[in-house]
Structure 1
Amino acid sequence: MLTRLGHAARRWVESPPWSNVYGLARTLLALGTLGTLVFSPVDALFTPAQGIPPAPHCGGIRAASLFCVVGQGHLEVARWVAVAILVVVASGWRPALTAVPHWWVAVSLHASATLLDGGDQVTAVLTLLLLPVALTDRRRWHWQPPVGRHDYATLAAVVGMFLIRVQVAGIYLQASVAKLGVAEWRDGTALYYWLNHPMFGAPMWLRGALRPFLSWGPGVATLTWGTLVLEFALAIGLFLPKRRWAPLLVGGLALHGGIALLMGLWSFSLAMFAALVLYLRPWDRPLALPAASTASRGGWALALRRPYSREATER
């Protein structure tokens, strides 16, 4: 049995996860939180709410939050410190150095703010699960080709990626099963009400175009039940071979793109884009993206498909 486990571990470390696949996901996670902090003033992020203590919430372990460390009188400073950290994370520079600050900012916002959505919770969890991946990433930029390593660091990173896949599958399983407890999802009318909701519904400039479709029963039912089917399919993607992942990835991206466009939940959608990339894009198949590389002493530039030696990648 131990021999079989050893062979399995050896197979796991054959493909290091430090590619631009996980790099893109880190950037998307950072951009989602960045958008929330840049476009939401402090008064909105920490607005008083009935039934809960005044924000920022600093009880117990929450006292370690960035917004609690700086104190009530310096929330604006903390907001821009968080923005600066997220800009660096999104650039892809030194994942091993920025991993913990990224998680700290994400969990600080989730723990201390009032204005939150599901994307903030997803980001807080994923940045935590990414720690074993990012902390063992020796590259200068997370856009660069992976450094081949077959050691315990690689195994820790691979285990982290596997736990992320389990977590994302759980998100979609819970989302699909929980909806079955709501009558409107079962009878196929839920999206009629959601898309016509005065606060969370489609923007007014789109409602006119959507009205004929939303007034057609079979169309609304197809859209509503199709969402349930897609979410359940995404959940079982955990058990499918890699060759089946691509259609699910496209479907998931389309689903959350629609949520962003029709419901305005951009930070949530960016977090779920990142989750889908980590879940359904094999990390051993790098994306055709510009790879970040160091330029002359003036800074860094983007080089299209520029080859890197191991030494240059770690430099």
Structure 2
Amino acid sequence: MRRRTIILPWAAGYGLARTLLALGTLGTLAFSDSATLFREVATVGQYPLCRGVTGAGAFCLVSPDHFEAVRWACCLILVVAASGWRPRFTAIPHAYVAFSVFTGISIPDGGDQVTWILTLLLVLVAVGDPRRWHWQPQQPQVSEGSRRGTWALIGVSAITLARIQMSVIYFQSCVAKLPHAEWADGSALYYWINNYAFGAPGWLRPALNMVAENPVGVAALTWGPLVLEIALAAALLMPQKVRWALLPAGMLFHLGIAVVMGLWSFAFAMWAGLLLLLTPYGHDPRLPRIRRKPTPQAEPERAAAEEPLEEPVHA
């Protein structure tokens, strides 16, 4: 009988992605009151619409008089999910809140949709996570045997689906721009920077226009994102060292979008997606922590602890 191994997905890397997703939705709910989130949209109707599947959202289960109470209850769930406590128990409530926000608010953006999809997929990872906090290092539990291996396989499969989803998002984002003349001739970012609704804030616009009013500068601003998006779409076909190089580039790219266009919830969703797309399975980012300088005898043990754990699976 052959013996195979699979890397355990339960590490601080996927936990950081969960936290970013929760913080993005938390920002939307905490800094927007119910009158802003739920309003009438011309030709569509009063939100939440509560039609079909969307009627299962949290804001469809109560009257408008209780929207504020539900909003703050959702914020509490998101705070707990973002903290990393008991991912096995908080993953489903987190996904339900993400679904309720995406289907319930009157002005959702792409970040709300990405958040809902990724949180749903990460439920399959988190329900098999035995840790108290998703920041903790992986702890082997040999007593669980094949059951642990099954949950690990489900978790890795879910992260793989999330990676494919992110690749498709970046591919579609790049290809959808190409037929438009402004993107083809390199002038699109000039118009976006000066757009009344989504343009750069007043304090930043003069500096950006110094670049955008130069032919070479505006072409770089316009075509640079296209190159980065198609590279991220193809990241799964690249070696890991190239993915590491793409990670800070992608993070800065979405930070720029957030600063210029104000799409912060979108940035948090895409940062989480980039972590899932570009980091290895079972990655532990070694977040800063207070600890003593390790002794020479402890170095081999520390190196072994930092390697992704593998679970034997019999086939």
TM-score range, shorter chain: 0.7 to 0.9
2:98 equivalent in structure 1: 106
1:42 equivalent in structure 2: 34
Q: Distance in 2 between matches of 1:34 and 1:285?
A: 25
Shift of 1:247: 1.0
Change in 2 beyond 3 A, CA 1:85/1:290: farther
Counterpart selection for 1:192 from 190, 193, 217 = 190
Counterpart selection for 1:24 from 16, 20, 26 = 16
Residues 47-98 of structure 1 deviation map (CA, whole Å, 9 limit, x = unaligned): 2110112111211111210111123221111100100000000000000000
Whether the 8 Å CA contact 2:14–2:282 is kept in 1: the answer is: no
Tell me if 1:235 matches 2:233: yes
1:142 equivalent in structure 2: 134
Whether the 8 Å CA contact 2:86–2:134 is kept in 1: the answer is: yes
Tell me if 1:83 matches 2:81: no
Counterpart amino acid of 1:172? Y
Q: Distance in 2 between matches of 1:146 and 1:193?
A: 48
Counterpart amino acid of 2:102? H
1:73 equivalent in structure 2: 65
> Higher relative contact order by CA 8 Å / sep ≥ 6: 1 or 2?
2
Counterpart selection for 2:115 from 99, 102, 123 = 123
Q: Distance in 2 between matches of 1:304 and 1:233?
A: 38
Unaligned runs of 5+ in 2: 142-147, 295-301, 306-315
Shift of 1:116: 1.3
1:271 equivalent in structure 2: 269
Whether the 8 Å CA contact 2:25–2:265 is kept in 1: the answer is: yes
Counterpart amino acid of 1:116? P
Tell me if 1:167 matches 2:165: yes
Whether the 8 Å CA contact 2:212–2:221 is kept in 1: the answer is: no
Residues 88-147 of structure 1 deviation map (CA, whole Å, 9 limit, x = unaligned): 000000000000000000011111110211100000000011111011111000000123
Q: Distance in 2 between matches of 1:161 and 1:288?
A: 20
Residues 152-173 of structure 1 deviation map (CA, whole Å, 9 limit, x = unaligned): 1110011011111000000000
Tell me if 1:151 matches 2:146: no
Shift of 1:148: 3.2
Q: Distance in 1 between matches of 2:101 and 2:283?
A: 33
Whether the 8 Å CA contact 1:119–1:268 is kept in 2: the answer is: yes
C-alpha root-mean-square deviation of aligned residues, in Å? 1.8
Q: Distance in 1 between matches of 2:113 and 2:291?
A: 34
Tell me if 1:53 matches 2:49: no
Counterpart amino acid of 1:227? P
Q: Distance in 2 between matches of 1:304 and 1:239?
A: 38
Q: Which moved more, 1:21-30 or 1:203-212?
A: 203-212
Whether the 8 Å CA contact 2:12–2:136 is kept in 1: the answer is: yes
TM-score scaled to structure 1, two decimals? 0.88
SS in 1 for 2:40: coil
Q: Distance in 2 between matches of 1:138 and 1:257?
A: 33
Shift of 1:225: 0.7
Q: Distance in 2 between matches of 1:183 and 1:84?
A: 46
Whether the 8 Å CA contact 2:162–2:276 is kept in 1: the answer is: yes
Residues 181-260 of structure 1 correspond to what in structure 2 (within 5 A)?
181-260=179-258
SS in 2 for 1:204: coil
Q: Distance in 1 between matches of 2:188 and 2:200?
A: 14
2:284 equivalent in structure 1: 286
Change in 2 beyond 3 A, CA 1:134/1:290: farther
Q: Distance in 2 between matches of 1:285 and 1:155?
A: 16
Residues 166-199 of structure 1 deviation map (CA, whole Å, 9 limit, x = unaligned): 0000000000000112111111011100011112
Q: Distance in 2 between matches of 1:152 and 1:304?
A: 34
SS in 1 for 2:74: helix
Equivalences, count: 289
Counterpart amino acid of 2:237? F
Whether the 8 Å CA contact 2:57–2:100 is kept in 1: the answer is: yes
